[in-house]
Structure 1
Amino acid sequence: MTPSQSLRLVIIAPDLLEGIATDSHARAQAERSRQLRIGLLENGYNIVAVLPADTFLYERLAQLQPDMIIVDAESEARDSLEHVVMATRDARRPIVLFTNDNDTSHVKDAVAAGVSAYIVAGLSPERIRPILDVAMARFEHEQGLRRELADVRIELQDRKIIDRAKSMLMQRQDLTEKAAYDKLRKAAMDKGLRLGEVAQRMLDAADLLG
C-alpha cells in the first residue's frame, strides 16, 4: 500500500447541483471539482466523503477522522475556510485549498488560520501528489514546533511551581534546598508523576490546610 492510498481525505465543497443546468459559472466550477476528484483518485487517494461547509461539519469530521481536508472552493473560499477552521480547532489536520479564484487577498489569513497549502489553479493530476505531500510535511513540521513550544511552556511553568514548593518545604520542614528538591523528586518517582505535578499537589494541599 502506497502512502497516498492510506491517506484518508475529506473534500469540503459547495453543492453546485441547483445552478448547474442554467449557470455557466456553476458548470465550470462543477467540472473543475470533478477534475480535482478524478486527479485525487488517479493518484490513489482514499476520498471518504464530500461534505458541505456547514454547521454540522465538526460532528462529521469527528466521526470520519480524516487524515487531510481538501477545500474545493472559489468565491466563497473565505466562508468555507471559516467553517473548516472552526471544525478542526480541537483536532488539527492538514488543510489544502484548491481554487480558481484569482483574488488572493485572503491568502495570508488562510495560512495564519492553519491552511497548509493554498493552490490557485493548476489542477493537473501530476501536480496533486507533490502538493499534498508538501502540505502533509509542512503540517507535521508545524505540529512538531507546537509540541516543542508546549513542552517549553510546561517546563517553565513547572519550574516556577517547583521553586514555590521547595521554598515551602524549606520553610516548614527546615530543609536545605537540595533536601527539599530530593523530597519532591522522590515523591514524583513514587507516584509516577511529573515533578511539577507533585509540586502543584503539595501547594494545593498546603493551601487547603492553611
Structure 2
Amino acid sequence: MVVAPDLVVSDPGDEHAVQQAERSRSLRIGLLENGFNLIATLPADVFLAERIAQLQPDMIIVDAESAARDALEHVVMATRDERRPIVLFTNDEDTRHVRDAVAAGVSAYIVAGLASERIRPILHVAMARFQHEQALRRELADARSELAGRKTIERAKGLLMRRQGLSETEAYEKLRKTAMDKGLKLAEVAQRILDVADLLG
C-alpha cells in the first residue's frame, strides 16, 4: 500500500507539483515492475487508520517530499495499534528528521532512491529489519512477563509462609501442586491467591 499525495496536478504550470506527481508515478510503476502487489494508494488523512485496518497491507510505503513529516505522523498514528513495516521514499534531502522517523517505526528512509532496480532490495531489507525488531519486541515482552510472574510467585509464597506457617520450600511446593492439579501456570495460581487475599483482607 502506498500513502502518497494525489497524482492529479491542478496547475500544469506548477513545476514542483508536476515533478512530484511524476516521481510518485515512477515509484508505483517500479513497485509493479518488481512484482509487488499494490493494493491501494491513499492520502495521508484522518481516515487512514480505518483504511489500513480494512486493507491489512503487508507494508506501507510513504511517498512524500516537503510534507514528509506530516504524512509520516498520519501513518505512524494509523499503525500504532497494529505495527507494520513502513518505508519512506523522499526527495527531500533535509535529513534532520531521519532519527525521529526511525524512532517512530520507519524501517527504511530512502532519499532519492527511486531507480527501479533499487526498490526490491530496499523493500526486502525493510521487511527483514521490521521482522527482526518485532522478534526483539516479543522477547522483551516475554522477559517482562516472566519477571512479573516471578514477582507474583514470590509474593504468593510470602503470603503462604506468613498465613500458614510454611517454609519457603513448602509454600513453593503448595503453589506448584495447585498449579498442576488445576492445569494452570504457577504465576496464575499465585495471582489468584493474592487476589483472594486482597478480597478477604
TM-score normalised by the chain length of structure 2: 0.95
In 1: Cα distance, 2:181 partner to 2:35 partner: 50
1:25 pairs with 2:16: yes
- Offset of 1:20 from its aligned partner? 4.9
- Offset of 1:178 from its aligned partner? 1.8
| Aligned pair partner of 2:128 in 121, 137, 142 | 137
2:52 corresponds to: 61
- Offset of 1:158 from its aligned partner? 1.1
Give the aligned CA root-mean-square deviation in angstroms.
Answer: 1.3
1:90 pairs with 2:81: yes
Q: Does the Cα contact within 8 Å between 1:61 and 1:87 map onto a contact in 2?
A: yes
1:176 pairs with 2:176: no
Q: Call closer, same or farther: CA 1:185–1:144 in 2, change over 3 Å.
A: same
2:2 corresponds to: 11
- Offset of 1:16 from its aligned partner? 4.0
Q: Would you identify which runs of 4 or more consecutive aligned residues in structure 1 move more than 6 Å? A: none
1:161 corresponds to: 152
Q: Does the Cα contact within 8 Å between 1:94 and 1:139 map onto a contact in 2?
A: yes
1:150 pairs with 2:141: yes
Q: Call closer, same or farther: CA 1:45–1:200 in 2, change over 3 Å.
A: same
- Offset of 1:18 from its aligned partner? 4.5
| Aligned pair partner of 2:178 in 184, 187, 190 | 187
2:36 corresponds to: 45
Determine helix, strand or coil for the equivalent of 1:46.
coil
Name the stretch that deviates more: 40-49 or 174-183.
174-183
Determine helix, strand or coil for the equivalent of 1:48.
coil
Q: Does the Cα contact within 8 Å between 2:9 and 2:21 map onto a contact in 1?
A: no
- Offset of 1:21 from its aligned partner? 2.5
Determine helix, strand or coil for the equivalent of 2:40.
strand
Q: Call closer, same or farther: CA 1:203–1:19 in 2, change over 3 Å.
A: same
- Offset of 1:127 from its aligned partner? 0.5
Q: Does the Cα contact within 8 Å between 1:20 and 1:30 map onto a contact in 2?
A: no
1:203 corresponds to: 194
1:107 pairs with 2:107: no
Determine helix, strand or coil for the equivalent of 1:89.
coil
In 2: Cα distance, 1:127 partner to 1:45 partner: 13
| Matched positions, count | 201
- Offset of 1:110 from its aligned partner? 0.3
Q: Does the Cα contact within 8 Å between 2:7 and 2:25 map onto a contact in 1?
A: no
Q: Provide, for residues 87-106 of structure 1, a one-character-per-residue CA deviation record: whole Å limited to 9, x for no partner.
A: 11110000000011111110
1:121 pairs with 2:125: no
Determine helix, strand or coil for the equivalent of 1:200.
helix
Runs of at least 5 residues in structure 1 that lack an aligned partner in the other structure: 1-9
